[in-house]
Amino acid sequence: MLFKDIPGLLSIKNTLIHSVESNHVAHAQLFHGSVGSANLALAWAYSTYINCEKVVGGDTDHGSPVAGVPSAVVSVPTDHSADACGRCASCVKMAKMVHPDIHHIFPTPSAKETILELLPTWRKFLIQSPYRSLTDWLEFTGVTGNKQGIIPIKEAHNIIEKVSLKAFEAEYKILIIWQPELMNIESANSLLKLLEEPPAKTLFILVCNDTNKLLTTILSRTQRIVIPAFTDEETIGYLTEKEGVAYDRAKQIAYLSEGNFSKASELVNYEGESKHQWFATWMRSAYKPDFTVLVKTADEFDAFPKEYQKGMMEYGLNIFRDLLLWKNGAEALVRLEGEELTFVQNFSKAVKAEAIELIVNELSQTHYYLERNGRAKILHLDLSLTIAQLFKK
């Protein structure tokens, strides 16, 4: 992964490149972006650039050498002219994710699986696309049941072991930690100790979606880089060039995905349509109400993977947000099409605004309990009965 492979974000790329060329690379950096953003892709491209042999050697195509260059004489690039070469031994290993000095830490479906065991699967997943979500990753591993993904304490011990070793061939050892907010408290405290007393020539890149779940002491010890969502134009370019989507369809998907490449890929594969059909059947059954179908729906919901269950609650929150917008005359802000738009139009006539606000609260509460391993079947049936009552009120 090179900087040029990532659409847009020129300002952030230039900042990262300049930090290397001016020899001001912070030992702990937090790449904070929403789901489907370029935070993981940028961490990969940044690591590639840092250890590129042409960059380290001071190749004229890449500006000044990394070491010993006064920042005053480094010109800040304004385009993709500064990038890793993509051809040296380091870059080739980075592209295949087999560089011995780059370590990836990521959530595992349970404490039983180890990162070392899942590393070949992780390589395939990341090489296919670095823009996907935690749900995508867990599905890629073939996980079943109510598993959410964690970074347990034993992986924190592995981090300590990795950073205690000298670099094999590169100047820096780099640890890319994806979803550090999924560390339990013991793991987070172990990481905090490393950030407080970092080993020499070791970089930590934390790739995060939700900083609210990180320890404030970790946040205070990292240099935070906020990664914005992709623009519609960048999404259209990505879909037409990388996914082979027709321009008109890419334009629709860009509008619906709101800069989330993970959601854009889902829309390309029509996975969101089946999600909507299931959700619409559930809501219509609650509106009737048809208690037999609601009980059956709760059984189906219980069989979904935990991340999919939470994703369904998030989907419901988005739909009811658009219902509220439509009902209050803000149709221009509704980013829906097809069956989803028809559903919002019809339900906006039948449901009162007060009920919508209360249903949103119930969906948020259920999402909260699912995160804390509440029994999905009981939570969903209780939610269904509550929504049925709110519809009638």
pLDDT tens digit string along 31-45? 999 999 999 999 999
Give the pLDDT band of residue 61 (cuts 50, 70, 90).
very low
Give the alpha-carbon dihedral of 37, 34, 210, 309, to 10 degrees: -100
User: How far, in Å, are 221, 306, 308, 311, 377 from residue 374 at the CA level?
Assistant: 34, 10, 14, 15, 9
Report whether pLDDT(46) > 70. yes
Report whether pLDDT(79) > 60. no
Report whether pLDDT(63) > 60. no
Task: Note the pLDDT of residue 68.
Answer: 33
Report whether pLDDT(298) > 90. yes
More confident residue, 272 or 299: 299
What does the DSSP assignment read for 119-166?
HHHHHHHHHH-TT--HHHHHHHTT--SS---BB-HHHHHHHHHHHTSP
Backbone angles phi, psi at 174, to 5 degrees: -125, 130
Task: Note the pLDDT of residue 196.
Answer: 82
Domains of the chain: 3-228 (3.40.50.300), 270-392 (1.20.272)
* pLDDT average, residue stretch 264-274: 66
Report whether pLDDT(377) > 90. yes
Most confidently predicted of 258-262, 355-359, 380-384 = 380-384
pLDDT tens digit string along 118-155? 999 999 999 999 998 888 898 888 876 666 788 888 88
d(CA 254, CA 246): 12
Mean pLDDT across the chain: 85
Give the alpha-carbon dihedral of 209, 213, 217, 220, to 10 degrees: 30
Q: 376-392 vs 306-327: helix axis angle to the nearest 10?
A: 10
pLDDT tens digit string along 316-351? 898 898 898 888 888 877 877 778 888 888 888 888
Give the pLDDT band of residue 7 (cuts 50, 70, 90).
very high
Report whether pLDDT(71) > 70. no
Share of the chain above pLDDT 90, in %: 44
pLDDT tens digit string along 256-268? 788 889 888 877 7
* pLDDT average, residue stretch 88-113: 90
More confident residue, 271 or 338: 338
Report whether pLDDT(274) > 70. no
| CB-based contact 121:251 (threshold 8 Å) | no
pLDDT tens digit string along 230-240? 998 999 998 99
Report whether pLDDT(30) > 90. yes
Phi/psi region, residue 76 (left: phi>0; alpha: psi -120 to 50; beta: rest), is beta
Task: Note the pLDDT of residue 94.
Answer: 94
Backbone angles phi, psi at 183, to 5 degrees: -70, 140
More confident residue, 274 or 89: 89
Report whether pLDDT(5) > 60. yes
Most confidently predicted of 188-192, 197-201, 291-295 = 291-295
* pLDDT average, residue stretch 271-281: 75
Residues near 155 by beta carbon (within 8 Å), at least 6 away in sequence: 105, 108, 114, 115, 187
* pTM confidence score: 0.72
Task: Note the pLDDT of residue 78.
Answer: 40
| CB-based contact 322:359 (threshold 8 Å) | no
Give the pLDDT band of residue 100 (cuts 50, 70, 90).
very high
Task: Note the pLDDT of residue 159.
Answer: 79
Give the pLDDT band of residue 56 (cuts 50, 70, 90).
low
